[in-house]
Amino acid sequence: MRFIWTFFIFTLLNSALANSAESNKANFSLKIKGVYVGNLSFSGIQDQGIYSVEGAIKSGGVFRLLNKQEYTAKTTGQIKESNFIPKSYVEYRDKKGKKSTASLSYELGIPQIRLYSPPRKTNSETIDPKTQKGTVDPLTAIYATLSDVSNGKLCELNLKVFDGKRKSSVKLVPILKERKGLIMCFGEYKRIAGFSKKDMEEKTRFPFNLFYKKHSKKKYELKKLIIETIYGTAVLTRKNNKN
């Protein structure tokens, strides 16, 4: 299930939210071939072009007994002209008891590695952070992807993501179609560099569909994401908020 967690930690869409004070919370379940395998949640706030987010991805159900995984992170940054510009990012991962931590800061849009534990294994193909200007951290990408769209600009994206080791990209096509009362658009996730040779030989491009519910002329809420993986169909579904 390595790819599933990598994909949902490294993704997706630039939803370009408004600059006024706004709080966003969401909770999603992840199923593969109809079997529940985990949960994704985040809580973020935006005010005057500044954003701050906390998020988590945790394995669940029977899958947790077989392959316990957990990812938690925090990020802060700015939003300028509908673009997310990270300022700081910290993540914690626990995969079957193997724990890791990473911390990045950003100067003029260029990521700086403050901590990477265990240390990165470097070779001739290791990505130099100085070449990654304009990339965003994984949690910023998740937050931008799954938050409500409030400016009506749906599925316009060409986003690069860098976590201090791996780089990926996501591109969305603003061709919208209606499916059972939801608005659907198309996208593609691509592994670029920093992944293992096995990952790159396995598959590098993963097409997917996003499904939105329209609340008004400009506001859309992401309800579901479907992607075909090497393990079968994976579906990320939004849970209803409980008061």
- For residue range 50-106, list pLDDT tens digits in order: 999 998 888 888 777 777 888 899 999 998 887 889 999 999 998 888 899 999 999
Helix (H) / strand (E) containing 233: strand 232-238
> Is residue 159 domain-resident?
yes
- How far, CA to CA in Å, does 17 sit from each of 22, 48, 143, 186? 9, 11, 11, 20
- Residue 93's DSSP bridge partners are 71, 100
> 135-145 pLDDT, tens per residue?
999 888 888 77
Q: Is-above-0.75 flag for pTM?
A: yes
- Residue that is written with structure tokens 């965003």 in the block: 136
Helix (H) / strand (E) containing 6: helix 2-9
Write out the residue range of the structural domain in which residue 199 sits. 2-238
Please count the structural domains in the chain: 1
Look up residue 217 and give its two tokens.
Answer: 């002329």
Cα 99 to Cα 108: distance, rounded to the nearest angstrom: 30
Task: Please give the average per-residue pLDDT across 18-36, as a whole number.
Answer: 75
> Is residue 243 domain-resident?
no
> Is residue 14 domain-resident?
yes
For residue 196, give every residue at least 6 positions away whose Cβ sits within 8 Å of its Cβ, in sequence order, or none.
Answer: none
